[in-house]
Structure 1
Amino acid sequence: MDTALVLIRHGLTDWNLAGRLQGRTDIPLNDTGRGQARGVGRELVGQGFSLILASPLGRAQETAALIAEELNAETGQPVPDLIERGFGPLEGRIMAEVSDEESVSLQSQLEPIDDILRRAIPALIDLSVEHAGKKVAVVSHGATMRAIRDALAGTKLPRGVENGEIIQINIQRLNELAEELDLVSC
């Protein structure tokens, strides 16, 4: 079997529903989010996924556990480098209430996209090497996944990443991206 790696966004939370930026605040799944997680698990049945990992945040860990339960798969240690983007002073804010001017003025206090890529891309490569020949799913977060997805695509795509969305990772392209971003250790 070839190595396969997918990213899955955690299920819905009450803060997602309200349009509130969670960032690294550890907000739990709501019932809809739990249903989404189980639905993702059912969608992956029969595809050979044997390991479900997640960022250390509770909403990602619970999503992974629910998916693993549906698949009768194992879970493993948290993957800290796939945690959500740090949103600084915007964390906990409802984005519809933040003016464009305020958003722009606070950009320097948010975790830069380049920093997300510098932590996430090597982590994904390490997982693909460590679990060679296996199918592994990793539950992560919207902003982190969007940064990875857009970098792999080579363009900023116009939409975000939905709760429960699955993104297939092309491991060859992942390695090429690591070289392009000079993330390959000598």
Structure 2
Amino acid sequence: MAESAFLARHGATEWSVAGRHTSRTDLPLLPEGEEVARGLAARLAGVAFAEVLTSPLQRARRTAELAGYPDAEVSDDLREWGYGDYEGRTTAEIREQVPGWTVWTHPSPGGESAAAVTARCDRVVARIRVATGPVLVVAHGHVLRALAARWLGLPATDGRLFRLDTATLCELGHERETPVLLRWNS
């Protein structure tokens, strides 16, 4: 059993600042996103990671690189939740057509289902659990929230309960044998 898994959300992009849903669109970090990503290096110093995994999208890969992990292993399982037709739109814009919409509670036409996200997250959780030490995962807001829910044995859609800001760190671990959140959105 790994000591823990550290989750790092990528730094700010133009769309994350504007509240636009960004899954498959491969946006670069803003200069301020790069700056805070560099700050993750000091926060992660002293942790000897058994594995470092990243989403294939440049905003996550660049965050990993700036945090000191340029050779992070790319995993398609860490792509952001696919928003389909809602890509690039804000929640307010979507709710003009679908009142009360959230990615957690409503389908996204042409997008990814909660079941598909669950399957991806479960593969990552399984990998973390057999690692020989802590694992660093660099990815995106919704998929990391779903991953934390799956770590805790909750439905991926319970990720809605965990706010996650850009360029923040979280730590998953155990209290005895029980999976727990050790640190969130810090």
TM-score by length of 2: 0.77
Q: Which deviates more from structure 2 when the two are superposed, residues 40-49 or residues 4-13?
A: 40-49
Residue 157 of structure 1 deviates from its aligned partner by 5.0
The amino acid that maps onto 1:138 is: V
Residue 127 of structure 1 deviates from its aligned partner by 4.2
Checking the alignment, whether the CA contact within 8 Å between 1:50 and 1:74 is kept in structure 2 is no
Q: Deviations over 1:4-43 (max 9, x none)?
A: 3211111110111111111111011111111111111211
Secondary structure in structure 2 of the residue aligned to 1:102: coil
Residue 113 of structure 1 deviates from its aligned partner by 2.0
- 1:46 aligns with 46
What aligned pairs does 1:148-167 form with structure 2 within 5 A after superposition? 148-153=147-152, 154=154, 155=158, 158-167=161-170
Residue 92 of structure 1 deviates from its aligned partner by 1.0
Alpha carbons of 1:97 and 1:136: their partners in 2 closer, same or farther (altered >3 Å)?
A: same
- 2:144 aligns with 145
2:57 matches 1:57:
yes
Checking the alignment, whether the CA contact within 8 Å between 2:64 and 2:70 is kept in structure 1 is no
- Provide the aligned length of Structure 1 versus Structure 2: 168
2:91 matches 1:95:
yes
Checking the alignment, whether the CA contact within 8 Å between 2:52 and 2:73 is kept in structure 1 is no
**Unpaired stretches in structure 2, ≥5 consecutive residues:** 180-186
Equivalent of residue 86 in structure 1, options 82, 85, 93: 82
2-structure distance, mates of 1:19, 1:135: 32
Checking the alignment, whether the CA contact within 8 Å between 1:113 and 1:147 is kept in structure 2 is no
Which structure shows the bigger proportion of residues in helix conformation?
1
2-structure distance, mates of 1:123, 1:152: 9
Residue 128 of structure 1 deviates from its aligned partner by 4.0
Residue 164 of structure 1 deviates from its aligned partner by 1.3
- 1:36 aligns with 36
What aligned pairs does 1:8-47 form with structure 2 within 5 A after superposition? 8-47=8-47
Checking the alignment, whether the CA contact within 8 Å between 2:64 and 2:138 is kept in structure 1 is yes
Alpha carbons of 1:2 and 1:126: their partners in 2 closer, same or farther (altered >3 Å)?
A: closer
Q: Which deviates more from structure 2 when the two are superposed, residues 141-150 or residues 7-16?
A: 141-150
Residue 77 of structure 1 deviates from its aligned partner by 2.5
Secondary structure in structure 1 of the residue aligned to 2:74: coil
Q: Deviations over 1:74-123 (max 9, x none)?
A: 62330110110000100011323222543649725231222212112222
Q: Deviations over 1:40-76 (max 9, x none)?
A: 12111123336432010010000011112xxxx5623
Checking the alignment, whether the CA contact within 8 Å between 1:11 and 1:33 is kept in structure 2 is yes
Secondary structure in structure 2 of the residue aligned to 1:33: helix
2-structure distance, mates of 1:119, 1:139: 15
2-structure distance, mates of 1:75, 1:50: 13
Q: Which deviates more from structure 2 when the two are superposed, residues 149-158 or residues 137-146?
A: 149-158
Checking the alignment, whether the CA contact within 8 Å between 1:51 and 1:75 is kept in structure 2 is no
TM-score by length of 1: 0.77
Alpha carbons of 1:53 and 1:108: their partners in 2 closer, same or farther (altered >3 Å)?
A: closer
Secondary structure in structure 2 of the residue aligned to 1:168: strand
1-structure distance, mates of 2:86, 2:63: 24
Q: Which deviates more from structure 2 when the two are superposed, residues 3-12 or residues 137-146?
A: 3-12
Alpha carbons of 1:173 and 1:112: their partners in 2 closer, same or farther (altered >3 Å)?
A: farther
RMSD in angstroms over aligned alpha carbons?
A: 2.7
